[in-house]
Amino acid sequence: MTATIIDGKAFAAGVRGQVTTEVERVKAAGITPGLAVVLVGEDPASEVYVGHKHRATIEVGMTSFEHRLPADTSEGDLFALIDRLNADPAVHGILCQFPVPAHLDERRTVARIDPAKDVDGLSVTNAGLLATGGDALVSCTPLGCLMLLRDQLGDMTGLDAVVIGRSNLFGKPMAQLLLRENCTVTIAHSRTQDLAEVCRRADILVAAVGRAQMVRGDWVKPGATVIDVGITRGPHPDKPGKSRLLGDCDFDSCAEVAGAITPVPGGVGPMTIACLLANTLTACCRAHGLEEPQGLTA
């Protein structure tokens, strides 16, 4: 069996196109969605991510607000900025780029953001709404995975789903989203006994542990849909001194067994920023009592 390759890059382009169309509709009502991104310090990877988010926000017609703060910014000064953004009607989404410097607390920072503007979906309020069936803003990467699964599988009722990873950022919200789709869900982790055997019974296998090529082909149920969320940089086998991106799944062996699989890169990754834009649009519509876009929420 040769798996269907799930093209996340192409799907994300479609999501961005839909967001662009919906932004034009919202603008016709006299409102421009706005996303504020806060970066504390000069982490090189974070600076790249913030640049990508800024360009993507502009490209879909939204307003981008960038706030770059020095690494020694106090918690009080950071919270004062967040408070101003919470109160600014032109800002519909707020994202603080993590990691932050060690003297700042990520949980306290997230808690300071208005849950209605928490487009990263990390607040206790949004996590609770997701768990109880409310209208949450859902963490962007799990939301992107859900969109890919819906497109690939349609109705997921009754399917066995295994999520490897139990983080607040991905594993737990992904499991909640799959429960909403009427899957039977198992959350597996580092202390799961006989992890390979647990994975073999999954119709949907989602790997998000950050261990390169951990999931092998003999862990995969024939015909299963495999979503690889991991991303690790490792040595390139054909280019000495160069590196390449690796997922949590050994792509070649898994693709021989799976029915469909996301590659790394080009699978889940492009969906994250696309869903950030979708969440900002959703937050804007909710703030102004406008009809929410179809297909861009959980």
Query: Which positions are annotated as active-site residues?
Result: 53, 97, 120
Pick out the residues of the known binding site for NADP(+). Answer: 165-167, 231
Q: DSSP per residue over the chain, as a string?
A: --PEE--HHHHHHHHHHHHHHHHHHHHHTT---EEEEEEES--HHHHHHHHHHHHHHHHTT-EEEEEEE-TT--HHHHHHHHHHHHH-TT--EEEEPSPPPTTS-HHHHHHHS-GGGBTT--SHHHHHHHHTT--PPPPHHHHHHHHHHHHHHS--TT-EEEEE---TTTHHHHHHHHHHTT-EEEEE-TT-TTHHHHHHT-SEEEE-S--TT-B-GGGSPTT-EEEE---EEEE-SSSTT-EEEE-SB-HHHHHTT-SEE--TTTSSHHHHHHHHHHHHHHHHHHHTTPPPPTTS--
Report the first-to-last Cα separation within the chain, whole angstroms.
Answer: 31
Pick out the residues of the known binding site. Answer: 165-167, 231
d(C-alpha 275, C-alpha 292), whole Å: 14
Strands 232-235 and 184-188: unpaired
